Structure 1
Amino acid sequence: MKTFVYILYSEKLNRFYIGLTTLSVEERIENHLKKKYAKLNFTQKADDWKLYLSFEVLNYSQGRQLELFIKRMKSSKFIKSLKEDKVKYESILNKFKSF
């Protein structure tokens, strides 16, 4: 089963959202925009979420570890660096290959 960690960005909120899914990333974004996740109040605050970055991971466990790692960084600067710095992007993915 394909698993993805994805990062959404809202210009309206000027914020990122980090998530994990076994659906296609496109389907997951559509569900966020349609406000299908009642418990996820954060994504309901905006209606302009766009895909910023996504990672295909080996399995759900690896994805969860990567998702939590990115969330713990609590830094939009860090998230932006993932998109801009391919070496950093690859090194972080490699860090979680064993999960």
Structure 2
Amino acid sequence: MRVVKPAVYILASKWNGTLYIGVTGDLAARVSIHRQDLEDGFTKRYGVHMRVHYEHFDTMLDAIAREKQLKKFRRAAKLELIEGSNPQWRDLTSEVQNWRS
């Protein structure tokens, strides 16, 4: 049985491209939905599929609070956050898919 944790994530269309910030209770499942374009919306419309940043939280309330905080950041601060943990802008999808507690 896998244990899921709330998470905030940032997707990008490419290096320094369009960004999307989301929150979910199951990051691996949500990543799969985005990657396969299973839902119409922003990420499908703009080709925002690269997972470039994510953070796990103990509660959904904490994750939602962080999502709201990140959405208020200026673009430069979002880029700085991504590059602080992922300077090469690697797609972290496989890391996320393999993540389990």
In structure 2, the gaps of 5 or more residues are 86-101
Query: Could you tell me which residue of structure 2 aligns to residue 71 of structure 1?
Result: 71
1:1-99 map, 5 Å? 1-11=4-14, 14-23=17-26, 25-38=27-40, 41-47=41-47, 49-75=49-75, 77-85=76-84
In structure 1, the gaps of 5 or more residues are 87-99
Shift of 1:31: 0.2
Q: TM-score, normalised by structure 2?
A: 0.68
Q: Which has the higher contact order (CA 8 A, sep 6+)?
A: 2
Partners of 1:7 and 1:30 in 2: CA distance: 14
- Contact kept in structure 1, 2:5 and 2:58, CA below 8 Å: yes
- Contact kept in structure 2, 1:13 and 1:46, CA below 8 Å: no
- Contact kept in structure 2, 1:3 and 1:20, CA below 8 Å: yes
Question: 1:35-85 deviations in whole A, cap 9, x for unaligned?
Answer: 2333xx21111345111000001210010010011011141x211211344
When the two chains are superposed, the root-mean-square deviation of aligned CA atoms in Å is 2.3
Paired positions, count? 82
Q: TM-score, normalised by structure 1?
A: 0.69
Q: Percent identity?
A: 22
Shift of 1:27: 2.4
Runs of 4+ in 1 over 4 A off after TM superposition: none
Partners of 2:69 and 2:62 in 1: CA distance: 11
Partners of 1:70 and 1:27 in 2: CA distance: 22
